[in-house]
């Protein structure tokens, strides 16, 4: 907005709301696209999920341009939206050529175009969060869109985990190492960024985690209602409905702990390091305590229902899962050992510390 003077009754500018929703839709598009590829297999450049993500990223980038034009201060959040928009467009240009030249590879890390897409999407999230955070800092209020964007960031980060995504892999060491990197940075940053004056501000990480869980659960419940069949062969797993995503990680509980730990302000550096480290370790401990048994539950017949979509009954058509569907995988190659626990702990501490810095930055930005 043109003016910096905002009263306590001012609401979040429309451009910020649109940017937040657009970034959320981009992530929804990626989640939809994964299910589409896992079920139908065949998609054109302009399949509905691709179009959604592409259009959403264009809108997000344009919101950034709009804010830059209209604002006297040219906030960094807007620049990040533009940066992210350009990066995503470049990835969208490169990916079709890449797939014809080198063959199609799914997943987010598997090649330069996907890396570019990931960097761009992270920048879009960072931009939306920064814009909203700046507004929050100027007005002293907390917008629900901050937790919404935070929740979609969590969804995006979890989706980056393609290697150890299935519950069958939750008894490996690698799973906890990967999560120790991806999650604490986001939860701690969201928690630290919001002013503590209101309940929404005090528990922003928890709300973000609830948004993440709510969005993924909705897809778990809605996707299977849509009939679909594979249009590519060979079909190793006969699926007849859109593949639901994996049931969300129970992040609300560790997020609660992080919110509690990260509320204090004006701390000494030593205390900051200690608390950040505590955030990481507490996250890991609670996360492990919940997901390890939850994985066993997810593989059991009790999870074979519409609510959980578990029990080893939902797989992409190209998975030759056989009788490994309800077994734990990776127990010999990437087992949970003392070494991996220590690695995960160190990674969690590092991730939380980064989140703490990022959160503090977002909590200080006013423009």
Partner 1 sequence: MKKLALYLLLFGAPAFAAFAHVGSPNTFFQGDAGPYPIRAVIRPPGAVPGLAEISIRVQTDDVERVSVLPGLVGDSAALRPPPDEAKRVPGEPNMFSAELWLMDSGAYGIEIRVEGKKGPATATVPVTVASIARQPLPAELAFALGLAGLFLFVAAIFIAGKAARDLDRSPKIAMSGAAVITGGMLAGFGAWWNQIDRDFTSNVITKPVPINVAARIDGSRRVVELTPDRDKPGPKWSSLVPDHGKLMHLFLISKTGFAHIHPVQQGPDRFDVIVPPLPRGEYEVYGDLTYENGASQTVVAKIALPEPPPAGDEAQNSPLVADEDDSWTIDQVKDAMGSRVFSFSDGVEMRWVGSGPIHANDENALSFTLATKEGEPVGIVPYMGMLSHAAVRRDDAQVFVHLHPIGTYSMASSEVIDRAAAPAAAAATSTGAAGGDEHAHHHHHHHHHQQRAVAQTVSFPYAFPSAGNYRIWVQMKSKDNSVRTGIFDFEVLGPK
Residues forming contacts to partner 1 in the complex (CB under 8 A) are 41-42, 74, 76, 79-80, 82-83, 86-87, 89-90, 93-94, 97, 99-104, 111-112, 115-116, 119, 229-236, 238, 318, 361, 364-367
Instruction: Compare residues 236 and 292 and give the one whose CB is closer to partner 1.
Output: 236
Q: How far is CA 24 from CA 57, 151, 186, in A?
A: 10, 9, 15
CB of 75 to partner 1, least distance (A): 9
Instruction: Compare residues 7 and 234 and give the one whose CB is closer to partner 1.
Output: 234
**Token representation of residue 104:** 């199609």
CB of 328 to partner 1, least distance (A): 27
Instruction: Compare residues 229 and 264 and give the one whose CB is closer to partner 1.
Output: 229
Return phi, psi of residue 311, to 5°: 75, 15
CB of 285 to partner 1, least distance (A): 32
Q: How far is the C-alpha of 202 from the C-alpha of 194, rounded, in Å?
A: 7
Residue ranges of alpha helices (H) inside the chain are 14-39, 48-70, 76-102, 112-139, 144-160, 173-193, 199-202, 204-222, 252-261, 269-299, 338-364
CB of 230 to partner 1, least distance (A): 5
Q: How far is the C-alpha of 240 from the C-alpha of 227, rounded, in Å?
A: 6
Instruction: Compare residues 135 and 294 and give the one whose CB is closer to partner 1.
Output: 135
CB of 54 to partner 1, least distance (A): 15
For 75, counting Cβ atoms within 10 Å of its Cβ (0-12 exposed, 13-18 middle, 19+ buried), the class is buried
Handedness of CA 214, 215, 216, 222 (dihedral sign): positive
89: number of Cβ within 10 Å: 16
Instruction: Compare residues 75 and 173 and give the one whose CB is closer to partner 1.
Output: 75
CB of 228 to partner 1, least distance (A): 12
Instruction: Compare residues 89 and 296 and give the one whose CB is closer to partner 1.
Output: 89
């Amino acid at each position: 907005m043109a003016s910096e003077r905002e009263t306590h009754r001012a609401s979040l500018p429309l451009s910020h709301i649109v940017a937040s929703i657009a970034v959320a839709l981009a992530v929804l598009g990626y989640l939809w696209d994964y299910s589409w590829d896992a079920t139908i297999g065949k998609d054109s450049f302009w399949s509905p999920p691709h179009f959604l993500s592409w259009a959403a990223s264009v809108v997000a980038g344009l919101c950034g341009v709009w804010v830059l034009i209209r604002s006297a201060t040219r906030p960094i959040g807007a620049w990040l939206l533009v940066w992210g928009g350009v990066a995503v467009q470049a990835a969208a240009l490169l990916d079709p050529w890449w797939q014809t030249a080198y063959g199609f590879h799914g997943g987010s890390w598997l090649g330069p175009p996907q890396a570019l897409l990931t960097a761009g999407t992270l920048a879009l999230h960072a931009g939306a969060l920064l814009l909203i955070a700046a507004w929050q800092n100027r007005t002293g209020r907390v917008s629900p869109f901050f937790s919404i964007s935070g929740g979609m960031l969590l969804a995006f980060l979890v989706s980056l985990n393609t290697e150890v995504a299935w519950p069958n892999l939750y008894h490996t060491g690698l799973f906890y190492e990967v999560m120790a990197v991806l999650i604490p940075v986001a939860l701690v940053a969201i928690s630290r960024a919001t002013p503590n004056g209101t309940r929404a501000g005090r528990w922003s990480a928890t709300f973000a985690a609830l948004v993440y869980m709510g969005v993924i659960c909705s897809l778990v419940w809605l996707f299977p209602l849509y009939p679909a069949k594979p249009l590519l062969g060979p079909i190793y797993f006969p699926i007849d409905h859109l593949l639901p995503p994996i049931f969300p990680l129970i992040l609300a509980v560790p997020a609660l702990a992080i919110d509690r730990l990260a509320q204090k302000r004006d701390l000494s550096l030593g205390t900051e390091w200690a608390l950040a480290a505590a955030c990481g370790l507490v996250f890991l401990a609670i996360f492990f305590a919940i997901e390890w048994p939850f994985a066993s539950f997810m593989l059991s017949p009790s999870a074979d229902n519409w609510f959980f979509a578990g029990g080893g009954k939902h797989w992409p058509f190209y998975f030759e899962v056989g009788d490994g569907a309800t077994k734990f995988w990776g127990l010999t190659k990437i087992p949970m050992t003392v070494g991996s626990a220590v690695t995960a702990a160190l990674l969690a501490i590092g991730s939380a510390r980064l989140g703490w810095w990022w959160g503090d930055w977002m909590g200080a930005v006013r423009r």
